[in-house]
Amino acid sequence: MDPSNDYHFLNQILWRRVKLTLVSGVFEGVLHHVDPDKIVVLKKVKNVETGQNVPGVKIFFGHEIVNVEPLDEVEQGSVREKTSSVSKDSLNTEGTRMEKMKGENLKVCEPTSPALKAPIAPLLNDLKNSPSEEKEVTYTVIDQFQQKFGAAMLHIKKQSVLSVAAEGPNVCRHGKLYWLQVATNSRVYLFDIFLLGSRAFSNGLQMILEDKRILKVIHDCRWLSDCLSHQYGIMLNNVFDTQVADVFQFSMETGGFLPNCISTLQQSLIRHLNVAPKYLSFLEDRQKLTQENPEVWFTRPLPPSLLKMLALEVTYLLPLRTALLDEMMSDLTTLVGGYLKPCREGSADQLAGAQPTCMELPEELLQLKDFQKQRRERAVKEYRMNARGLLIRTMLHPKQSETATAGKEEKESRVSPNDTFHPFKEAGTSTLPPCPALEKTGSWISPSLNLPEGLQFA
Q: Check residue 408 and give its pLDDT.
A: 39
Mark whether 192 and 267 lie in a shared domain: yes
Q: Is residue 359's pLDDT more than 90?
A: no
Phi, psi of 422 (to 5 degrees): -125, 100
Which secondary-structure segment (H or E) carries 310?
helix 304-328
DSSP assignment, residue 414? -
Instruction: Kindly state whether residue 346 falls inside one of the protein's structural domains.
Output: no
- 149: three-class secondary structure by DSSP: helix
**Of 35, 107, 106, whose CA–CA distance to 331 is shortest?**
35
Confidence band for 287, pLDDT divided at 50, 70 and 90: confident
Beta strand pairing call for 179-183 and 239-241: unpaired
Domain that holds residue 272: 122-326+415-420
Mark whether 70 and 133 lie in a shared domain: no
> How far is it, in rounded angstroms, from Cα 15 to Cα 457?
8
Neighbouring-strand partners of residue 166? 180
**Most confident range, picked from 2-6, 144-148, 312-316:** 312-316
> How far is it, in rounded angstroms, from Cα 217 to Cα 372?
28
Q: For 240-257, what is each residue's pLDDT tens digit?
A: 999 999 999 999 999 999
Tell how far CA 101 is from the center of its chain.
20
Instruction: Kindly state whether residue 453 falls inside one of the protein's structural domains.
Output: yes
When comparing pLDDT for 356 and 111, which is higher? 356
Mark whether 52 and 155 lie in a shared domain: no
pLDDT > 70 in the chain, percent: 68
Beta strand pairing call for 16-22 and 25-34: antiparallel
Q: Is residue 336's pLDDT more than 60?
A: yes
Instruction: Kindly state whether residue 233 falls inside one of the protein's structural domains.
Output: yes
For residue 248, count other CB atoms closer than 10 A to its CB: 15
State the total domains in the chain: 2
Mark whether 221 and 154 lie in a shared domain: yes
Phi, psi of 272 (to 5 degrees): -100, -25
Q: Is residue 205's pLDDT more than 50?
A: yes
Q: For 143-154, what is each residue's pLDDT tens digit?
A: 999 889 999 999
Residue 95 makes CB contacts below 8 A (sequence gap 6+) with: 74, 76, 81
Residue 404 makes CB contacts below 8 A (sequence gap 6+) with: none
Average of per-residue pLDDT values in the chain: 76
Q: Any idea what the CATH number is for the domain that residue 90 is in? A: 2.30.30.100
> How far is it, in rounded angstroms, from Cα 401 to Cα 281?
11
